[in-house]
Structure 1
Amino acid sequence: MSEIEVSQVVRTNGAKELARYLVEEISNGTLAVGIKLPAERELSERFNASRGAVRRVLGELKSRGLITQVVGSGTFVAAVPETTPAAGKGIGAISPAELMQARLLIEPMLPSLIVQYGTPQDFARMDECIERSEAAKTVEEFEHWDGALHEALAVATHNNFIRQILELATQVREQGEWGRLKQRSLTPERRTTYEDQHRALVNALKDRDEATARQVIEQHLLQIQRNLFGR
C-alpha cells in the first residue's frame, strides 16, 4: 500500500501521518506480526487525530488484512503489506459521476432504517457534525465535517452492510478528483444551501418523518449533482 493510497482513506494530516506510520512500521518489521498496537485513545493523542479518524485508518488496514481486531483484547498486526500497488485500484477506478449515480440510488433508502433504529446518541452526533461544518473556516474543514455527518447517518442505520457500502463511498469522496470538483463548485451560497438541507434532513429524522427525510436527501443529492457537473 503506497503513501498515495494511504492518503485516499483519510482527510486530516494527523490521520494521514498515522496511516503512513503504521504501514511503514509494519512493512519494515518494527511492528512485527502478532504485535499489539497502542489503544485508539493513545494513537489519537499521539497523532492529533480524532478517534473517528483513527478508527477509519484501522478499519482500512483491517480491510487490507494488515491488522486484526479482537474484542476485549485489542488490535494486532496480522500481515506485512504486499509490495505491489494492486490494492486500492478498484476504488481509484470509480469516477465522481459514478459515485453520484450510486448515491442517488442508495442514500434515499437510509431514512427507513434511521427512523426505526436511530438513537438519541446518533442524533446528537449528527447535530455536532452540522454545528462543526457550519463553523468551518475552510473548504477542507467543511468537507471533513460533511463526511463525518455522512458517517453518522451510516452508523444510525445500525446495519453493518449499509455501513460498509457507505464507507466505500466515503473513500471515493476522499480521492483528489472529487475534492477538486467540490472545491471549484462550492460557493458560499451553495454551502449555505447544503447546510440548510443538512439541518432539514436531521430534523426530519429526529421527528421519525421518513417521507420528508427521503425527499430532502433526494433534493440534496440532485443539487450536488447539478453543482458538480452542471446537470
Structure 2
Amino acid sequence: MSVEQSLRSLLAEGAQDGSFGPGSKLPTERALVERLAAPRSAIRRALEILERDGVVVRHVGRGTFLTEAAVEAARAAPADTSPAEIMQVRLVLEPPVAALAARVATQADLERISQCLERGGDSDEFEAFERWDGKLHRAIAEAAHNGLLMNMFDVMNTARQLPVWGSLKRRTSSTERRRCYHAEHTTIVDALRDRDPDGAQAAMRRHLENVADNLLGRH
C-alpha cells in the first residue's frame, strides 16, 4: 500500500470511529512519519495529494485539518465494504454519469478530463497511474454538474481508499493491463468530446466490466 493510501485509510478509520471529526487537526508530519513508517518526503507528497483532492486543508503555522466533506464521505462508506460491492455501485453510477457529462460538460471540463487522460497515459508506475485514473473518473463525474451525484460519487470513491481495495488493485495490476485501461479511457473521452451520451455510457460500462473481471477473477 502506498503512503497516500495508508494515510487515507488512517483518516477514514478515524472518521468512522469518531477519533477524527470535521476540522480535526491531523498529527504532525513527524508523528505521521513514525506512525506510517514512511519518509517525511513521502508524507509531504501524500498530504499534497489529499489537499488537492479536498480531503484536508493546510494552514501555514497552524497545521493540517480534515475537511467536513471527507468526514461525511468516510462515515457513509462502511469499513467492511468489499471490492465486489464497490464495483457493483460503480457499474450502477458511473455509466449514466458519463452519459450526462457528454451532454453538459463545458470546454474547460473536457480540457481537464483530457489532461487527466494524458497524464495517466504517461504514467508507467502503478501509483502514478492509479492517481490519474482516480482523477480522470472524478473529473468526468464533476463534468456532469450535479451536486447530489458528486456526493454519491465521493462516498463511493472513499470506499476505494479502503486497504482491501488498494491491495487488490496492486496485485492485479500490470503494464499491459494499465495500457488496456488507458485505451478504454481514451474511448470514453473520445465519446465525451463527440458529445455522444450513448457512446460514453457504453464505453464506461465496458471499461468497468473489464476492471471488475480483472479484479474479481470473473473470466
Q: Taking structure 2 as the reference length, what is the TM-score of the superposition?
A: 0.72
Task: Indicate which of 5, 10, 14 corresponds to 2:10.
Answer: 5
Cα distance in 2 for residues equivalent to 1:54 and 1:147: 10
Cα distance in 2 for residues equivalent to 1:136 and 1:20: 34
Q: RMSD over aligned Cα, in angstroms?
A: 3.2
Task: Indicate which of 132, 135, 142 corresponds to 1:155.
Answer: 142
Residues 215 and 136 of structure 1: CA distance in aligned 2, closer, same or farther (over 3 Å): same
Aligned positions of 1:28-39 closer than 5 A: none
Report the structure number with the largest CA radius of gyration: 1
- Number of equivalences: 181
Q: Partner of 1:71 in structure 2? A: none
Question: Is the 1:91–1:171 Cα contact (8 Å) retained in structure 2?
Answer: no
1:62 aligns with 2:68: yes
Q: CA deviation at 1:21?
A: 8.7
Q: CA deviation at 1:224?
A: 0.5
Gapped regions of structure 1 (runs ≥ 5): 10-18, 26-44, 67-86
Task: Indicate which of 5, 23, 26 corresponds to 1:23.
Answer: 26
Tell me which amino acid in the other structure corresponds to 2:69.
S
Task: Indicate which of 146, 163, 166 corresponds to 1:176.
Answer: 163
Residues 20 and 144 of structure 1: CA distance in aligned 2, closer, same or farther (over 3 Å): farther
Aligned positions of 1:1-231 closer than 5 A: 4-6=9-11, 22-24=25-27, 49-50=48-49, 53=52, 55-58=54-57, 61-63=67-69, 88=75, 90-231=77-218
Q: CA deviation at 1:158?
A: 0.3
Cα distance in 1 for residues equivalent to 2:123 and 2:45: 24
Q: Taking structure 1 as the reference length, what is the TM-score of the superposition?
A: 0.68
Question: Is the 1:5–1:88 Cα contact (8 Å) retained in structure 2?
Answer: no
Question: Is the 2:103–2:196 Cα contact (8 Å) retained in structure 1?
Answer: no
Q: SS of the residue aligned with 1:101?
A: helix
Cα distance in 1 for residues equivalent to 2:127 and 2:215: 16
Cα distance in 2 for residues equivalent to 1:54 and 1:105: 23
Q: CA deviation at 1:61?
A: 2.1
Residues 226 and 48 of structure 1: CA distance in aligned 2, closer, same or farther (over 3 Å): closer
Question: Is the 1:8–1:174 Cα contact (8 Å) retained in structure 2?
Answer: no
1:124-171 Cα distance to aligned partner (Å, 9 max, x none) = 111111111111132111111100011101110100011111111211
Sequence identity percentage? 31
> After TM superposition, where is structure 1 displaced by more than 6 Å over at least 4 residues in a row?
45-48
Q: CA deviation at 1:177?
A: 0.9
Cα distance in 2 for residues equivalent to 1:209 and 1:131: 20
Q: SS of the residue aligned with 1:136?
A: coil
Cα distance in 1 for residues equivalent to 2:142 and 2:92: 18
Cα distance in 1 for residues equivalent to 2:172 and 2:183: 17
Tell me which amino acid in the other structure corresponds to 1:217.
M
Cα distance in 1 for residues equivalent to 2:123 and 2:159: 22
Cα distance in 1 for residues equivalent to 2:55 and 2:86: 20
